[in-house]
Amino acid sequence: MKILTVVGARPQFIKAAAVSRAISQHNQNHPIQTIQEVLVHTGQHYDSNMSKVFFEQMYIPQPNYHLEIGGLSHGAMTGRMLEKIEEVILNEKPDVVLVYGDTNSTIAGALAAVKLHVPVAHVEAGLRSYNTRMPEEVNRVLTDQISRWLFCPTETAVKNLEREGIIDREQALVNNVGDVMYDAALFYQKIAKPSNMIASLIDELRGSFYVATVHRAENTDDPVHLSNIMEALETISKTTPVVLPLHPRTRKLLGSQNIFHIRIIEPVSYFDMITLLFKCKGVFTDSGGLQKEAYFFQKPCITLRNETEWVELVQNGFNTLVKINLDDIIKAEKQINLNKRDYSLQLYGQGNASETIISKLLEG
């Protein structure tokens, strides 16, 4: 079997690392029925600390194709990816095209494949925010519509697909396999070593700090939202330092806002993020992945959004959604340590999502 995997953005490298590892393990255990993986990197994320470092640290196979399509508007980026991925599919003739999550690289890969009658496998299928102003929501709804294998990370995701009639669609194979990010967290936490920079920052802060990330268009592209978030994190930082690995999107849009207390650093590697999560008191984020990683590392999370795709975290008290205004964010921080939580719930499977995905693909 030949799988063509399309990745392009940081969270996809983490997910692909888990599945690529399961493919190599399968090949070791089944030398007769091997899987060939052809990896395509669209180039959506191109800075070394947004891309290369993940490939090196997580032992992801080097991409067979690097399309170098990044830094463009949504339409231009998705359109050029579609054209180039089509060429790769025609050249490689894969049995399956495997896509992850909800980025522009996801929809471009899925659309190129389905138009050439190559079946699509979607990892992280069925997630919904029901906010169609988010580019990610559009990407995932459309990708689910054209996928054959829909690998859901949660039971909620399965139900979402059921409501859209996808479960009854001919040729749709819907399964709750668990979350490949949980597989990655379990595996890499055993080998993660922080950089000197992160190790000394943690020493300096004596383990008493929050981690924050901000990159969603709905926050960064609205100057009022962005300045409310920064002002709130500034205020919180005066009592408990906030470490903010800053996405290039946010850095560009931040402009001249005065920041004196937040510890702004460059985007960090997966190992550095794992280490920060281990040591921090809690997390402020608008990232989908980090909401779950906070839970994997048993840290409370305040999500800087009106809604989330990971509703089970909110329903079980692990995550609090907060409106983007100064008072609400500061109030949420004051309440962050009050809730007692039981982390023994296995909300995201048993850590074998990647292996299950491979065996389902082999079943056909």
Q: What are phi and psi of 261, to 5 degrees?
A: -105, -35
Residue 36 one-letter amino acid: Q
Scanning residues 239 to 258, which ones bind ligand UD1 (CB under 6 A)? 247-249
- If one asks whether residue 50 binds ligand UD1 (CB under 6 A), the answer comes out as yes
Phi-psi map region of 58: left, alpha, beta (phi>0 left; psi -120 to 50 alpha): alpha
C-alpha distances (whole Å) from 7 to each of 63, 97, 227 are 9, 11, 32
- If one asks whether residue 300 binds ligand UD1 (CB under 6 A), the answer comes out as no
- Pick the stretch among 57-65, 100-108, 123-131, 169-177 that binds ligand UD1 (CB under 6 A): 100-108
C-alpha distances (whole Å) from 53 to each of 70, 159, 270, 342 are 17, 36, 8, 34
Active site residue 117: no
Number of residues that bind ligand UD1 (CB under 6 A): 19
One residue of 19, 88, 129, 136 binding ligand UD1 per CB under 6 A:
136
One residue of 24, 135, 254, 261 binding ligand UD1 per CB under 6 A:
135
Bridging pattern class, strands 65-66 and 36-41: parallel
Q: State the minimum distance, in angstroms, from the CB of residue 21 to ligand UD1.
A: 21
- Pick the stretch among 40-48, 184-192, 195-203, 336-344 that binds ligand UD1 (CB under 6 A): 40-48
- If one asks whether residue 286 binds ligand UD1 (CB under 6 A), the answer comes out as no
What's the longest Cα–Cα distance across the chain? 61
Judged by beta carbon, residue 68 or residue 162, the one nearer ligand UD1 is 68
One residue of 25, 59, 71, 207 binding ligand UD1 per CB under 6 A:
71
C-alpha distances (whole Å) from 342 to each of 56, 310, 313 are 35, 17, 11
Judged by beta carbon, residue 71 or residue 223, the one nearer ligand UD1 is 71
CB 214 within 8 A of CB 250: yes
* Nearest C-alpha neighbor of 127 from the set 101, 105, 109, 147: 101
One residue of 3, 4, 9, 60 binding ligand UD1 per CB under 6 A:
9
* DSSP 8-state assignment for residue 343: T
x/- mask, ligand UD1, residues 315-354, rule CB under 6 A, reads ----------------------------------------
CB 115 within 8 A of CB 85: no
Judged by beta carbon, residue 50 or residue 82, the one nearer ligand UD1 is 50
* Residues designated as active site: 215
Footprint of ligand UD1 on this chain (CB under 6 A)?
9-11, 44-47, 50, 70-71, 102-104, 135-136, 215, 247-249
